[in-house]
Amino acid sequence: MKAIIPVAGVGSRLRPHTFTKPKVLLNVAGRPILGHILDHLVDCGVTRLSLIVGHMADLIELYVRKHYDVPSEFIIQEEPRGLAHAVSLGLAPEDKEVLVILGDTIFETDLQRVIERSDTTSLGVTTVEDPRRFGVVETTGNGQVTRLVEKPDVPKSNLVLVGIYMIRNAPLLRECIQTLFERELTTRGEYQLTDALQLMIEKGEPVTTFPVTEWFDCGKPETLLATNRHLLDQKQNSTYEPRPGAMIVPPVYIHPTAVLERTVVGPYATVGEGAVVRDAMVQNSILGGGAHVENALISGSLVGNNSTIIGQFQKFNLGDSSEIVAGRDFPE
Per-position pLDDT tens, the chain of length 332:
899 999 998 878 878 887 888 889 999 998 999 999 999 999 998 999 999 999 889 999 999 999 999 999 999 998 889 999 999 999 999 999 999 999 888 888 888 888 887 789 999 998 888 888 888 888 887 778 998 888 888 888 888 898 899 999 999 999 999 999 999 988 888 899 999 999 999 999 999 988 888 888 787 888 899 999 999 988 755 666 778 889 999 999 999 999 999 999 989 999 999 999 999 999 999 999 999 999 988 899 899 889 888 886 655 555 554 445 544 444 44
CATH number of 235-325: 2.160.10.10
Is pTM beyond 0.85? Reply is: yes
Contacts of 136 (CB under 8 A, 6+ apart): 148, 149, 150, 151, 152, 155, 156, 157, 159, 160, 161
Q: What is the domain partition of the chain in residue ranges?
A: 2-220, 235-325
**2-220 adopts what CATH topology?**
Spore Coat Polysaccharide Biosynthesis Protein SpsA; Chain A (3.90.550)
CA R_g for the chain = 22
Task: From 186, 205, 230, 60, select the one nearest 122 (Cα to Cα).
Answer: 205
- Secondary structure of residue 17 in the 3-state scheme: helix
- Cα dist. 192→4, 66, 314 in Å? 15, 32, 40
The whole-number pLDDT of residue 330 equals: 40
